[in-house]
Amino acid sequence: MTKIMFVCHGNICRSTMAEFVMKELVRKAGMADRFLIDSSATSREEIGNDTHYGTKQKLREMGIPFERRAATQLTKSDCEDYDYIIGMDYANIRNILRIGGEAAQDKVHLLLEFAPPSYKGGVSTMYGSIKEIDDPWYTGNFDATYNDVFAGCQGLLAHFQQ
């Protein structure tokens, strides 16, 4: 079983959106039994809070099932247990590596690494030139976030189907 952990700053917008989108994509592909999919935060700010209403509204609009959940913080143990630890932006990646240390080193990816080439333009870093997924907590643009998350999750699914 492949274990995927999606990570963002607060675990109420982007990472939860990615969790529910990916669960639906693998379900539709008949592969749900091959994956354990979860999400968490790098910060403690939203611990215990449910998914942001804007995320739930967008998921509902797109027909993606979701459930009530409580935001959790990524742990070193998660970094040891999960096969893929997927951040939404470069700050997430830095914080994942700070939390997980060596256990996270070879497992960390930006979600849009898996998206089509048109999504990969961005800031050049040690991870390459990959676009970040903007945080709708600040932008208010859940449509753009959904489009990026969906493209990344579709690419991630294609990665596993190869």
| Residues with a known catalytic role | 8, 14, 135
Q: How far is CA 86 from the centre of its chain?
A: 5
Tell me if residue 46 falls in helix, strand or coil. coil
Cα separation, 98 vs 117, in Å, equals 29
Q: What is the DSSP letter of 76?
A: H
Q: Is 126 exposed, middle or buried (0-12, 13-18, 19+ CB in 10 A)?
A: exposed
Report the largest interatomic distance among the alpha carbons of the chain, rounded to a whole angstrom.
40
Structure tokens at 99: 């939390």
Cα separation, 139 vs 75, in Å, equals 27
